[in-house]
């Protein structure tokens, strides 16, 4: 069973998507994202299977939550530096966890 101390090890921050590109090399339809996590972390790269629920234009400027202290991971030819958080929708496709628009970029989940 996970403990509160285990949870405390995760650094989950508010980020704002600043760039969205198609990721045709992915095994499943996905986007390449650049997400601004503020002054402390800067802009980080991520990949996410969001094409079923979101057009690229919808994602631009959207605030999301991401785990910023996982090691970078190779996803096909791309590097993902953060884990963008989502949950399954009714169709089992990813729906983003989005903070209120008042949440500051870089804000830490607690």
Question: DSSP letters of 39-76?
Answer: TTT-EEEEEE--TTT--HHHHTT-EEEEE-SSPPEEET
Domains of the chain: 4-96 (2.40.50.140)
pLDDT for 101: 82
52, 42 Cβ separation under 8 angstroms: no
pTM value is 0.94
Both structure tokens of 77: 């030819």
Give the burial class of 101: count Cβ atoms within 10 A of its Cβ; 0-12 exposed, 13-18 middle, 19 or more buried.
Answer: exposed
Mean pLDDT by 10 residues, the chain (110 residues): 94 98 94 98 97 97 97 95 97 95 94
């Amino acid at each position: 069973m996970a403990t509160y101390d285990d949870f405390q090890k995760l650094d989950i921050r508010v980020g704002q998507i600043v760039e969205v590109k198609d990721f045709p090399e992915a095994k499943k339809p996905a986007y390449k994202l650049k997400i601004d996590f503020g002054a402390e972390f800067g802009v980080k790269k991520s990949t996410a299977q969001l094409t079923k629920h979101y057009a690229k234009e919808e994602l631009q400027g959207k605030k999301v939550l991401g785990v910023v202290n996982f090691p970078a991971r190779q996803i096909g030819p791309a590097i993902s530096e953060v884990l963008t958080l989502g949950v399954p929708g009714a169709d089992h496709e990813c729906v983003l966890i989005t903070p209120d628009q008042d949440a500051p970029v870089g804000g830490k989940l607690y």
